[in-house]
Amino acid sequence: MGDLTAAPRLFLLAGEPSGDALGGALAAGLRDLAPGVSFDGVAGPLMRAAGVPSLFPMEELSVMGLAEIVPRYLDLRRRLHQTAAHVVATRPDALVTIDAPDFSLRLAALVRAQAPEIRTIHYVAPSVWAWRPGRAKKMARMIDQVLALLPFEPPYMEAEGMRCDFVGHPVAAEQQPGPEAARRFRDSHGIAPDAPLVLVLPGSRKGEVSRLAPVFGPAIAQVAAARPGARFVLPAAAPVAGLVRELAAGWPVTPIILDPGRPGALAEKAAAFAAADVALAASGTVSLELAASATPMVIAYRFSGLTNAIMKRMALTDTVTLVNLVSESRVVPEFLMENCRPEPIAAALLQVLAEPEAQKAAAALTMDRLGRGGPPPGLRAAEAVLSGLRDSRRA
């Protein structure tokens, strides 16, 4: 039996900025609940600010896509084995890996093989409810506990023998701009208070923007023809801002493009979400950001040809939109793959503009189910980690 009174020693690892944000909140929550806790890890700036030292710069792990990974393979492999050796040598009570599953789960497997007594915890469940359900079974070989962001995920993990705690989604805890910020946004861009305002969100990656821009442009042109007073705002994501400007220049309707590099860009984007009447968005977690701001939406997505065929065969749900899934409704229209065409998208945008009430109700329910009004996700995650450690020490 382990010591039930000793303060825990934890190794926390994040591989990208979103994981660093989760890890920083988790570390802060752990310090609140277990003041004697000590940390080691691979950390970004938010985790370091919360007291987690970094074995090496987290940014070395922040790579996405095959084209980026291949030239970095040897460096990543060296960091993987360095991290595993460090964890095994220092023997923390638990290894907590945060998202970045390619690196995280390989690390957990190496640690499990050499030091099976170290508890392994993974923060952010894989989307096994949507595709590749076999990932849960593989995870169970090296992971003891999963911290889930979505309330319907625990049964999928528990079915494979892992403990899984729903800890809430950070989007539900974010402060939203009020009506005054929305009014100021409209005033600053010369948008009348009663003008229909459409957000255009074609994604944050080069491939998806390139595939969706030729569809989104004609779709909003049809909305503009049906609602002549409508205005359109496109908050460009930093990695594709130049490409977005280039592609939008050829659209029949010119949107207001928000520059992600200007001072106050994040606040301006949040105010745009609050001011908008409807959004046309690429599929992804942006649907939760829109729900948090009570902005109705239409979701559209198109993969590359081969990925399209694979996803159609592997999809396990009749919807990919998290608002639909969490609210157990199907009120958010989706236009995916071959259905991602301007005409039906424009018709759906006009319909949602005319009748937004069902979506606003689903958005409110989604935020409630994701933890709005409850303890912060970082604190809930910390309690789950400590509870799991207590249970494992009693075993």
pLDDT of residue 69: 57
**Is residue 3 one of the residues assigned to a domain?**
no
**Is residue 173 one of the residues assigned to a domain?**
no
pLDDT of residue 135: 87
Same domain for 79 and 215? Answer: no
DSSP state of 15: -
Q: What's the CATH code of the domain at 364? A: 3.40.50.2000
Predicted TM-score of the model (pTM): 0.88
* Structure tokens that stand for 273 in this block: 């979400």
Same domain for 154 and 185? Answer: no
**Is residue 174 one of the residues assigned to a domain?**
no
Provide the Cα torsion 20, 80, 140, 8; round to 10°.
-60
**Is residue 98 one of the residues assigned to a domain?**
yes
pLDDT of residue 318: 79
- Output the tens digit of pLDDT for each of the chain's 395 residues: 355 557 899 999 999 889 999 999 999 999 999 999 999 999 999 999 999 999 999 988 875 444 455 667 788 899 999 999 999 999 999 999 999 898 999 999 999 999 999 999 999 998 877 667 788 999 999 999 999 999 999 999 999 999 999 999 999 999 999 999 999 999 999 999 999 999 999 998 888 899 999 999 999 999 999 999 999 999 999 889 999 999 999 999 999 999 999 999 999 999 999 999 999 999 888 999 999 999 999 999 987 655 555 555 556 677 889 999 999 999 999 999 889 999 999 999 999 999 999 999 999 999 999 999 999 999 999 999 999 999 988 76
**Is residue 126 one of the residues assigned to a domain?**
yes
Same domain for 271 and 359? Answer: yes
Query: What are the phi and psi torsion angles at 269 (to 5°)?
Result: -65, -45
Same domain for 318 and 359? Answer: yes
* Structure tokens that stand for 277 in this block: 């009447």
Most distant CA pair in the chain, distance: 72
Same domain for 144 and 219? Answer: no
Same domain for 237 and 341? Answer: yes
Q: Cβ(4)–Cβ(386) under 8 Å?
A: no
Same domain for 226 and 348? Answer: yes
CA-nearest of 224, 227, 260 to 245 is 260
Same domain for 225 and 123? Answer: no
Angle between helices 265-275 and 179-188 (to 10 degrees): 100
Same domain for 361 and 247? Answer: yes
How many structural domains are present in the chain?
2
Q: Cβ(287)–Cβ(323) under 8 Å?
A: yes
pLDDT of residue 316: 61
The Cα 323–Cα 329 span in angstroms is: 8
Same domain for 218 and 349? Answer: yes
Which residues are within 8 A (CB) of 5 and not within 5 positions of it... i.e. 6 or more apart?
none
Same domain for 297 and 218? Answer: yes
Same domain for 291 and 358? Answer: yes
**Is residue 183 one of the residues assigned to a domain?**
yes
pLDDT of residue 319: 87
Pinpoint the alpha helices (H) of the chain: 17-33, 45-49, 66-90, 101-114, 134-139, 154-158, 179-188, 206-226, 241-248, 265-275, 286-292, 305-314, 322-327, 342-354, 357-369, 377-394
The Cα 13–Cα 25 span in angstroms is: 13
**Is residue 2 one of the residues assigned to a domain?**
no
pLDDT of residue 70: 62
The Cα 110–Cα 118 span in angstroms is: 11
Domain residue limits at 222: 179-369
**Is residue 4 one of the residues assigned to a domain?**
no
